[in-house]
């Protein structure tokens, strides 16, 4: 019988850069498997692609941690994880993981805020302009964003090029920009708890 590897991290592509850094700093012996971040355009794809990845692991790991929030799957993702004996980082989405309790307390009164992370700033054209069809049909910009009153950039790393790009995005949307330096927020803590706690006997 083949010996099991200690850890698989099945990670949303929007978090892969940060999770890879955490794993390296913590010295985890882990294989990182990435799910396309653009699945968020249709959350059903998140469930399908995570399930496909888990099925392919075929009992080869002692522990499987899925680095996702619920991300609009309304519990369907958790039902898949239970079937395969995997666990995930808690929370509804990565904005809450980064923003933590402070952002969660604000959420109900910020329904017209558009949130950015480093990943979304880096991938704005691919994920939003092209992903939502705005590049081909510019009138969709108003359809999607007319209700937006401001942009909140939950910044992981203070890179000048990303700040400049975030300002371009806010200008594109025609709204003010707030930048909040959150680093990895609660993501790292939640991931450490899942990976470094004793494995179930």
Q: What domains are there in the chain, each with its CATH number?
A: 5-92+185-196 (3.40.640.10), 94-181 (no CATH)
pLDDT of residue 36: 97
d(CA 144, CA 180): 24
Paired sense of beta strands 87-88 and 30-35, if any: unpaired
Does the predicted TM-score (pTM) go above 0.85? yes
- For residue 7, list its beta bridge partners: 30, 63
pLDDT of residue 199: 63
pLDDT of residue 190: 97
Q: E strands, 18-139, where?
A: 30-35, 61-67, 87-88, 113-116
Nearest partner of 120 among 94, 146, 141, judged by Cα: 94
C-alpha torsion 104→108→109→112, nearest 10: 100
pLDDT of residue 103: 86
pLDDT of residue 48: 98
Q: Please check whether residue 27 is in contact with residue 50, taking contact to mean a CB–CB distance below 8 angstroms.
A: no
pLDDT of residue 200: 58
Q: Please check whether residue 154 is in contact with residue 104, taking contact to mean a CB–CB distance below 8 angstroms.
A: no
d(CA 102, CA 152): 13
d(CA 167, CA 179): 10
Give the phi and the psi of residue 133 in degrees, each rounded to 5: 80, 10
d(CA 153, CA 51): 31
Residue stretches of the chain with pLDDT short of 50: none
């Amino acid at each position: 019988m083949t010996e099991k590897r200690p850890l698989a991290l099945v990670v949303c592509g929007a978090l892969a850069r940060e999770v890879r850094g955490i794993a390296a700093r913590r010295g985890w012996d882990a294989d990182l498997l990435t799910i396309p971040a653009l699945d968020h355009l249709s959350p059903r794809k998140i469930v399908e692609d995570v399930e496909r990845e888990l099925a392919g692991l075929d009992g080869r790991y002692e522990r499987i941690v899925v680095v996702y929030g619920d991300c609009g799957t309304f519990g369907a993702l958790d039902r898949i994880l239970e079937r395969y004996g995997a666990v995930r980082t808690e929370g509804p989405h990565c904005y809450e993981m980064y923003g933590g309790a402070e952002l969660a307390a604000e959420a109900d009164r910020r329904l017209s805020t558009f949130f950015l992370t480093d990943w979304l700033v880096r991938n704005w054209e691919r994920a939003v302009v092209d992903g939502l069809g705005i590049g081909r049909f510019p009138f969709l910009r108003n359809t999607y964003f007319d209700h937006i009153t401001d942009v909140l950039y939950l910044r992981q790393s203070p890179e000048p090029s990303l700040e400049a790009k975030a300002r371009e995005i806010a200008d594109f949307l025609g709204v003010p920009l707030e930048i909040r330096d959150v680093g990895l927020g609660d993501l790292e803590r939640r991931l450490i708890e899942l990976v470094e706690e004793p494995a179930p006997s």
